[in-house]
C-alpha cells in the first residue's frame, strides 16, 4: 500500500468503490455482497466503520482527508455521504505526514 | 448520602436513576446503579432520549454527544464482528489500531476503548521502545484460562490502577501524570471484572458523571464491553454496577430543570405505553 500522495483526485464513484472495498474488509464480507446491498441505493455505515475507512484511505492516498468537523457522526452515515465528503476534501488535502499528532 | 438504583436493563436503570437524582436536587455522591442485563434497552425510552439529545445537538453540535457516540468511545460495537468467533477479538484490535490516529483528531486524548486496548506503558530504561498494553485482551485470556480449568470463581482480577500490565484483569483508565484536568475526559476511572458462580460481572467507577449527557451512553458502552469479554471468554454475561463518586443531572443550555423533568415524564410515558 502506497504512502505517497497522488497528484490527481479520484472521482466520487472511484472513491465510493474504494470505500466499499475497505468496508468489506472491516465487515469481513466480500465486495460483491456489499455491492449487492448497495444496488439501487446507498449503503449505511456506523461512525467507527467510517473512521476506520477514512484512516485506511488516508494511508492509501498519503493525504489527510478528514478534518475535525468531518468526524461528527452526522457526517459519517453512508458510502455516498463519505464519498462526497472525501471528494470535496481531496484537492486541498495535506500530505499525511504533516498532520500534527496530539 | 449515597443513592442506590436497580434496573432490569439500561433504560429502566437510567430512568430510575434520573428520577432519584432529580428528587435529590440534581446531584448526589456515590450514585450506584445496578443493571441486571446491561446488554438490553427499551427502544421506546432510547428513542425519547435520542430525540432529546438530537434537539440539543441541532442548537450546538458539540454541546452534547449522541448516545451512540458516547457508547462508541467505550466500545465500537460495529467493529466487533461476532460471527468471527475468537478471531473477532484480533480483528477488533487491528481496526482500533488502524483508526487510532484519526480517532484522536476528534478525541485528542484518545478514547476509553483505546485505553483499554492500548494502555500507555512507561518507556523502559533499557532503551527499548515503549509498548502499549492490551488490558482487555489480558482479561479475556485469563477468563478463558479459568474456563478451561473449570474454575467458576475469580476474584483475583481486582486490582488498582498502578500496575495493570503485571497483575490486572481490571481496566484502569486514568494515566498518572498525564491526566491533570479536573473536568472532562477521563471521568471513568476504573473497570473491574469478576467471575462469580460461572458468570462475568462488571463494576465501573466514575469520579464524576453527567447523567443526561453521558450516563445512558456510558451504560450502553460498558454493557458492550462486558458482553465482549463474556462472549470471547465463553462465560455468560452478568450484571453491571456503576458507581459515580459524584453525579449530576447535568447543566447548560437545554438542560434546565423544567426540560429535564419533561424528559423524565416522556420516558415514563414511553415505558407505560410499551408495557
Domain holding B11: CATH number?
Answer: 3.30.572
Q: Residue range B145-163: average pLDDT? A: 69
- Average pLDDT rounded to a whole number, residues B185-213: 90
Cell 405505553 found at: B273
Q: How confident is the model at residue A22 (pLDDT cuts 50, 70, 90)?
A: very high
Contacts B79 to A, Cβ<8 Å: 26, 48-49, 52
The answer to whether residue A100 scores a pLDDT higher than 50 is no
pLDDT at B170 over 50: no
Higher per-residue confidence, A70 vs B86: B86
Other beta carbons within 10 Å of B105:
20
CB contact under 8 A, B105 and A54: no
pLDDT for residue B160: 31
- pLDDT for B192 equals 93
> Which residues on chain A are in Cβ contact (under 8 Å) with B76?
46, 48
Least confident of B135-139, B141-145, B252-256, B265-269: B252-256
Q: What is the pLDDT of residue B129?
A: 66
Q: CB contact, 8 Å: A28 with chain B?
A: yes
The Cα-based distances of B51 to A44, B47, B66, B270 in angstroms read 20, 6, 10, 13
Evaluate the omega torsion of the peptide bond into residue A73 and state whether it is cis, within 30 degrees of 0: no
Most confident option among A1-5, B85-89, B179-183: B85-89
Residue range A6-28: average pLDDT?
92
* Mean pLDDT (whole number) for A9-18: 94
Topology classification of domain A12-96: 1.10.1200
Q: What is the predicted pLDDT for the residue at B224?
A: 98
Mean pLDDT of chain B: 87
Query: Which residue on chain A is closest to B77 by alpha carbon?
Result: A48
Kindly tell me if the per-residue pLDDT of B69 is higher than 70: yes
What are the cell numbers at B156?
A: 483475583
Q: Over 70: is that where the pLDDT of B139 sits?
A: yes
Q: Classify B34 as helix, strand or coil.
A: strand
Global pTM value: 0.89
Query: Which residues in chain A have their CB less than 8 angstroms from residue B185's CB?
Result: none
* pLDDT above 90 as % of chain A: 62
Report yes or no for ipTM above 0.90.
no
B72 contacts A47? CB cut-off 8 A? yes
A31: left (phi over 0), alpha (psi -120 to 50) or beta: alpha
* B166-170, B171-175, B211-215, B246-250: the lowest-pLDDT one: B166-170
Is B269's Cβ below 8 Å from some Cβ in A? Answer: no
Return the pLDDT at B237.
98
pLDDT > 90? residue B48: yes
For CA atoms A77, B10, B271, B3, give the dihedral sign.
negative
State the Cα–Cα distance between residues B50 and B198, nearest whole angstrom: 35
Mean pLDDT of B191-220: 94
Tell me which chain A residue has its CA closest to the CA of residue B104: A102
The verdict on A94 touching B (C-beta cutoff 8 Å) is: no
The reported pLDDT for the residue numbered B76 is: 97
Q: How many domains does chain B have?
A: 1
Q: Is the pLDDT of residue A4 over 60?
A: no
Query: Which range marks the domain in which residue B198 is found?
Result: 3-274
Kindly indicate the confidence band of residue A96, based on its pLDDT and cuts at 50, 70 and 90. confident
Amino acid at each position: 500500500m502506497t504512502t505517497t500522495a497522488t497528484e490527481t483526485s479520484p472521482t466520487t464513484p472511484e472513491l465510493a468503490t474504494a470505500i466499499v472495498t475497505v468496508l468489506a474488509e472491516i465487515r469481513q464480507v466480500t465486495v460483491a455482497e456489499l455491492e449487492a446491498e448497495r444496488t439501487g441505493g446507498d449503503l449505511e455505515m456506523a461512525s467507527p466503520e467510517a473512521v476506520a475507512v477514512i484512516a485506511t484511505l488516508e494511508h492509501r492516498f498519503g493525504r489527510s482527508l478528514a478534518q475535525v468537523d468531518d468526524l461528527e457522526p452526522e457526517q459519517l452515515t453512508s458510502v455516498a455521504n463519505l464519498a462526497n465528503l472525501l471528494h470535496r476534501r481531496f484537492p486541498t488535502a495535506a500530505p499525511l505526514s504533516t498532520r500534527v499528532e496530539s | 448520602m449515597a443513592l442506590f438504583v436497580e434496573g432490569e436493563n439500561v433504560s429502566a436503570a437510567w430512568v430510575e436513576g434520573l428520577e432519584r437524582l432529580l428528587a435529590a436536587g440534581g446531584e448526589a455522591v456515590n450514585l450506584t446503579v445496578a443493571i441486571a442485563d446491561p446488554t438490553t434497552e427499551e427502544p421506546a425510552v432510547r428513542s425519547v432520549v435520542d430525540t432529546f439529545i438530537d434537539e440539543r445537538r441541532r442548537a450546538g453540535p458539540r454541546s452534547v454527544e449522541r448516545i451512540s457516540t458516547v457508547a462508541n468511545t467505550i466500545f465500537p460495537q460495529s467493529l466487533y464482528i461476532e460471527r468471527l468467533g475468537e478471531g473477532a477479538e484480533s480483528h477488533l484490535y487491528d481496526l482500533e489500531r488502524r483508526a487510532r490516529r484519526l480517532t484522536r483528531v476528534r478525541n485528542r486524548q484518545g478514547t476509553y476503548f483505546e485505553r483499554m486496548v492500548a494502555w500507555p506503558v512507561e518507556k523502559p530504561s533499557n532503551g527499548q521502545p515503549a509498548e502499549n498494553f492490551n488490558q482487555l485482551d489480558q482479561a479475556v485470556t485469563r477468563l478463558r484460562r479459568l474456563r478451561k480449568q473449570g474454575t467458576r470463581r475469580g476474584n483475583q482480577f481486582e486490582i488498582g490502577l498502578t500496575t495493570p500490565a503485571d497483575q490486572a484483569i481490571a481496566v484502569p483508565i486514568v494515566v498518572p501524570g498525564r491526566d491533570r484536568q479536573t473536568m472532562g475526559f477521563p471521568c471513568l476511572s476504573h473497570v473491574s471484572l469478576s467471575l462469580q458462580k460461572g458468570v462475568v460481572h462488571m463494576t465501573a467507577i466514575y469520579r464524576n458523571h453527567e447523567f443526561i449527557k453521558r450516563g445512558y451512553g456510558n451504560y450502553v458502552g460498558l454493557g458492550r464491553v462486558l458482553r465482549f469479554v463474556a462472549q470471547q471468554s465463553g462465560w455468560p454475561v452478568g450484571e453491571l454496577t456503576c458507581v459515580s463518586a459524584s453525579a449530576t443531572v447535568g447543566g447548560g443550555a437545554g438542560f434546565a430543570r423544567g426540560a429535564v423533568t419533561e424528559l423524565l415524564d416522556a420516558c415514563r410515558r414511553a415505558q407505560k405505553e410499551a408495557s
